[in-house]
Structure 1
């Protein structure tokens, strides 16, 4: 054995030496302290799937010799550099020592798609590091001496040729101890830095006071309920009206809980960039009052990647130079960023530029070492891009979901996948010259799509026979309905097998390229992501999925190709959301529009006994003038006449008190129709129109027109960027006109939703159309009153708003006034503004 300074201790001795036992898995230790080299493998979503890896492990473990053990548990306690450490892991196969001449042997199984000799050296070294530390743990458990031999074998299993390539090495236990203790020293040095930061955060959190002189109405109630949930665990659903201050009312108690309970980290999800900005501003306000918390804001890869932004160029091998030797430069960046109060994309980018690191990957590497992570929904829920460490249970985390009303639709998209023939043909063309094997594999996928469509056409006779659940495509008000075919099939018997096999074949070729340090054509990256998503989703499909097959005649008369696509469509993601919640100690979902509760719980996977807190508005009812205009019919077939009424209604509203107004429409087409009529009738009033697919700069320019003192009349899309998550304070917006009830467009997805819920004995039309529409309306209306001094009007332009269904769901603070015609609206507006 080595000297007594680092001798192993039993549990009691460790606890007597230090109150803080560092509990660490071998995987965590290796990941942090033993990584070196390039980041190339981090850029891909492929590689052997978890299911493939498990199957390969089980096959090899079943073939182990008699007397050996599979999944042998290793757990040791020791002291290193004055720190008590509990180290644990599981080795794939253990061959115990059978005689004095044969050393103990530990086997580790690693699955690949290529022979081991072509794997990158950094990847091989990382796997060997794990096996070495397993060998150290086993020797410590059995009190080996420094000279005791330990045999280690790496079993590289190639999934392509179904062969295993063993690689054996023998070490003296003292060598393994030296290697492990060096890794532990690296980790412990960092751990102490991290713990010093955590102690400072907890102390400052305990001393933190609410950063405003008083609570608004409902704020204290929300803060108390949030704290109890965060302290005790479980779920909380909160409908908190606009202006109540949801961000501070949830973040403040969460931070207090971090100071007073075992809560380690907060994960704050928001669907909008504006939501992240509010969290940043709130954190800054708390920092100014003494809080030392560190916040990390994770921005989407395409807005962060230096290559995407033109800040660096890939080398001749197509690899970003910022990924070369990434893990060799990472420790310095990690030390520089630890404890900084705001790790915004700008701060991350500055450090990444200094050390020539990939900024997006640097932000992900800092994720475990901050107190508050602010990111989009997909980093927790999306199976393709989720950050798995945000869902591990080794630390106690709380999940705060802002604007939770967006989560249901977003989650259905995350658990759906689509393959298009046209995209696949373009990918094949892009690969033809440079990657012949990949080209052939993609061509096989195109043929599999063709074959599947032919099978649907032959087995169903005609599309309508196979779409009994929904309205036929011809009944949808779309221009493509007359030249397309549609089939809806259940997935009770699994996904289309020939397509699945073809997808797997393509991904096998792609993974072989990656593991050999090569890259597929850059032009097909987006298509490859859709392919990865299809592979992941087909392994997750359940009864809430349908297979939707579409065949579309060529729109270009010069082309003989048909568009064909296969979609694995998720109709309800509640089950997957519920599974994700289980990784968190506490989950709080909040929004201004979470009604009715029964619908929300069904869509978002909340436990039926989770508390539902509905708070009153903090504002006086007389601040908002709410006017119903039931003389307007905005249904699709009545829109020509509706246009005349709307032009007059908009003009009356604007002229009642000129200022900044927004008119929200259900579609761009309807928006353009009314805009043309309005401009023809009132050319003296300039219009500002939201454009489809506008850039971030165009959106900022649009919002810039809504300043106090301006007289801006803007037309925008309901449920879009300008109708949610933006604070128009004071005179920035004095009125909103909501055109129609916001119903989603009628299509096969919404009709499938309707039919599915009706089959379960519920009102499918309400769930698929009216409730989502109401959410859009309430969000849009909530833009007008944002502070105690705001005053403004909301016009609801549609006869359906007077229906008892909608009126029963109006917020408690709404006091609607019905106007039977345009003159009545003008009179009501005059009275409101003159009060």
Structure 2
């Protein structure tokens, strides 16, 4: 991305080629060639063999006037052979590593590599002040890693030919850049005059906006715990947009973990657009919800190729022009333009990433090592990162830096290749054998470093290794073999079966995470013996588990000028900073609730024990509690449980006691349609009773405004389920001198409780009750962490609860 400048436009050769010289089809986004490490090793090897007098990594930088613009073009050519005598022209070599002979490479790839070398030749000639007819020799060195052989391909051009080609590419880029620059100037001008879109600030809103602006202006990080209803989106977006106009910020990236969060940003941006803001907003959606093939909107041809990928880059410029500076590039808008130009909508949205002023997307586009937006690496642009719902980031990031392989999935992948891809099938079968060998080694060694956990069912086994212990080297080697064969197929335009595309993505992830793994990772091996005495295997699994992704998050923060982390539940501060990799000196802003204390009736019921071993006795107490709550004031209520099993037990008992009350329950794995059906019951004027799971879709990120929800009962403290992952997290935290039980269980559980409780009061006119049902809520540990605007009332029995409810609803 060229830097926005009124004087000089700076662009690298690679950027110019990528923007102006691509044509033809869209190739696979999985891979399609050697890894970066393999390429670096091959470059170094060939550069060492260069003849005396030649130079490696020769820097090229030229400045020229073109179409009234001053352009600085720069790059590095792999090898320069200066003119040794009058009989030989100067020569520039470019090294490209492959897995196949160059004649088997797709013509589109070859043309793109030659375009880069031609522009290098132009830059060198301009540096040396060549005349139009001066000859320049250009050589591609195609190094086949599989054969360990280099295929040279030499062509000679006049410098005038190279100039014509290069200036044509630059002209195409400059035409686009002028349009984009005009848009940016309009954005900055409209941002400077933008006014806050509401008549007044809510309590705490101005403090958040001021702190956010200072962070965006000066750089660094800000952590803000802003209670529900304060208006976090406008309080962070408005100062961020003002900073774009006044301090030179180039791009904003707004992260949210829920679809509802993206909708709020869309609505907020729409309100600002009505005031004259020219900002372009790009909303990214997951591939499976965007891709036309996934949605059944196009049919692949006989070679299993999507027609929208054919000629993609030939039709892209016109589509890109149509989308530039549109105010809201929602998935619907992108899909409409993609239909018009017959392009892949997901890939079209990625092409618009560098040119959007505000990008709204999921966490993984910034933090996931396999999904991260590539243009973030351009450090010439100043970007700000706004992380909404940041209480979800710690767990989500741990998942991004974890990976799993299972034997059954590997065997299914091998079966899909039978008959069509024999070399790939053989490689995948070798991975099955490598996993088998690893499990046998674990079973035989039983060392103190590679140990089984507490006694498990007789037919299942589990071992845990640290990064410094024995690692699955044979598995890693087999994975590399599979990926090498897959890359060879992609590079030769003979892709693996589409049926194993997701599995190959998972394999890439496993390899990437294994290479990144550090002291916060554990290798977990699970084996389940078959009930068939003639078979040794039933299922095996190898997991690389990340216990804390803080260091990886910190590395991503460094790509941004400013980072603002905010949520309604970021407590306690030391836990949040440790999980999210935040610098210890990052300011922590804790804001008061904008609502009046009398709007919320917070009732703590310690007369029920919801721990697992006491749940049978808790069921009848909870049924009585729900009945009393509904009788106190008719309306819509939600009861949140820690598990589906507990939910179903209470639902059964409640229906037996109150058969006339309609009960709606959250189902495990419910679809979006089923979730919408559930939410549709919560409308003003109804008396819906819903049972849902704490920490699930209905307990976070949904606004139940007014009488959509008048009360919530939170059953239990939300502790995560006890399993080997949580226990590993507990022991790792304890080893650092922290309270492992708090880190692994109590703090995450508290976050769920606070999020769930925050669903009730969403506006200045709301009134409602939150009932915390568990004896532990009266414990000093939890009371110390309650939000400042909570004023709990203890109810020691059902009669006291009814009295407290009646008093709350009777108070005006």
Q: Which TM-score applies when normalising by structure 2? A: 0.98
Q: Matches of 2:455 and 2:386 in 1, distance apart?
A: 40
Partner of 2:454: 472
Aligned length: 807
Q: Deviations over 1:688-735 (max 9, x none)?
A: 111111111111111111111111111111111111111110001111
**2:628 match:** 652
Please say if residues 317 and 519 of structure 1, whose CA atoms lie closer than 8 Å, have aligned partners that are also in contact. Answer: no
Task: Report matched runs for 1:296-307 at 5 Å.
Answer: 296-307=282-293
How far apart are residue 31 of structure 1 and its match? Answer: 0.5
Give the one of 67, 90, 100 matched to 2:76. 90
Instruction: Say whether 1:274 aligns with 2:260.
Output: yes
Superposition pairs for residues 177-576 of structure 1, below 5 Å?
Answer: 177-460=163-446, 466-467=450-451, 472=454, 474=456, 481-492=457-468, 495-554=471-530, 561-576=537-552
Contact 1:40 1:319 in 2 (8 A): no
1:723 alignment partner, one of 670, 689, 699:
699
Deviation track 1:167-212 (CA, whole Å, cap 9, x = no partner) reads 1111111111111100000000000000111111111111100000
Q: CA deviation at 1:557?
A: 9.7
Distance 1:493 1:120, change over 3 A: farther
Specify the SS of the correspondent of 2:78.
strand
1:473, 1:748 within 8 Å by CA — same for their partners in 2?
Answer: no
Q: Which moved more, 1:506-515 or 1:55-64?
A: 55-64
Could you tell me which residue of structure 1 aligns to residue 761 of structure 2? 785
Matched-pair contact (CA < 8 Å) for 1:425–1:443: yes
Instruction: Quote the Cα distance in structure 1 between the aligned partners of 2:462 and 2:421.
Output: 34
Q: What 5-or-longer segments of structure 1 have no aligned partner?
A: 1-17, 475-480
The alpha carbon displacement at 1:555 in A equals 7.2
Cα deviations by residue, 1:743-781 (Å, 9 ceiling, x for unpaired): 111111111111111111111111111111111110010
Unaligned ranges ≥5, structure 2 = none
Q: SS at 1:374's partner residue?
A: strand
Question: In the alignment, what sits opposite 1:59?
Answer: 45
Aligned to 1:154, which of 118, 136, 140? 140
Match of 2:796 in 1: 820
In the alignment, is residue 36 of structure 1 matched against residue 23 of structure 2? yes
Deviation at 1:558, TM superposition (A): 11
Distance 1:555 1:407, change over 3 A: farther
Distance 1:482 1:679, change over 3 A: farther
**Deviations for 1:56-76, whole angstroms, at most 9, x for unmatched residues?**
222222222222222111111
Shift in Å at residue 85 of structure 1? 0.4
User: Matched residues in 2 for 1:46 and 1:135: separation?
Assistant: 26
How far residue 364 of structure 1 moved from its aligned partner, in angstroms, is 0.4
The alignment partner of 2:139 has SS state of: strand
| 1:638 equivalenced with 2:607 (yes/no) | no
Establish whether residue 683 from structure 1 lines up as the match of residue 665 from structure 2: no
Distance 2:234 2:413 in 1: 47
Alpha-carbon distance in 2 for matches of 1:811, 1:559: 57
The Cα RMSD (Å) is 1.5
SS in 2 for 1:685: coil
TM superposition shift of 1:419: 0.4
Cα distance in 2, alignment partners of residues 494 and 346 from structure 1: 50
Q: CA deviation at 1:362?
A: 0.3
C-alpha contact (below 8 Å) 2:424/2:485 kept by paired residues: yes
Q: Could you list the per-position Cα deviations for residues 652-687 of structure 1 after superposition, in whole angstroms to 9, with x for gaps in the alignment?
A: 112211211111111111111111111111111111
Residues 86-95 or 616-625, more deviating: 86-95
1:695 pairs with 671, 692, 695, which one? 671
Report the secondary structure of 1:40's partner residue: coil
Could you tell me how far 1:433 is from its partner in structure 2? 2.2
1:483, CA displacement in angstroms?
2.9
Counterpart of 1:619 in structure 2 is: 595
From the superposition, tell whether residues 234 and 93 of structure 1 become closer, same or farther in structure 2 (CA, over 3 Å): same
**Residues 236/45 of structure 1: CA separation in 2 closer, same or farther (3 Å cut):** farther
Deviations 1:246-297 (A, max 9, x none): 0000000000011111101100011100000000000000001111111000
The match for 1:71 among 54, 57, 64 is 57
Aligned-residue offset at 1:496: 1.2
Q: Tell me, yes or no, if the aligned pair for 1:105 and 1:153 is still in contact at 8 Å.
A: yes
Q: Report what 1:796 is aligned to.
A: 772
Q: State the partner residue of 1:6.
A: none
C-alpha distance in 2 between matches for 1:473 and 1:235: 45
Name the SS of the counterpart of 2:63 in structure 1.
strand
Preserved contact between residue 637 and residue 710 of structure 2 (Cα < 8 Å): yes
Tell me, what secondary structure is at the counterpart of 1:146? coil
CA contact (8 A) 1:36 1:325 kept: yes
- Over 3 Å counting, the alpha-carbon distance change for 1:731 and 1:559 in structure 2 is farther
TM-score w.r.t. length of structure 1:
0.95
Q: 1:27 aligns with which of 14, 23, 46?
A: 14
Deviation at 1:586, TM superposition (A): 0.6
Cα 1:670–1:556 change in 2 (3 A) is farther
Partner of 1:3: none
Query: Contact 1:46/1:507 (CA < 8 Å) preserved in 2?
Result: no
- Mapped to 1, the partners of 2:765 and 2:328 lie a distance apart of 31
Render the CA deviation track for 1:142-182: whole Å, top value 9, x for unaligned: 11111111111111122222222221111111111111100
What is the alpha-carbon distance in structure 2 between the residues aligned to residue 831 and residue 559 of structure 1?
Answer: 67
Quote how far apart the aligned CAs of 1:394 are. 2.4
CA contact (8 A) 1:234 1:586 kept: yes
For residues 353 and 449 of structure 2, the distance between their equivalents in structure 1, rounded to whole angstroms, comes to 51
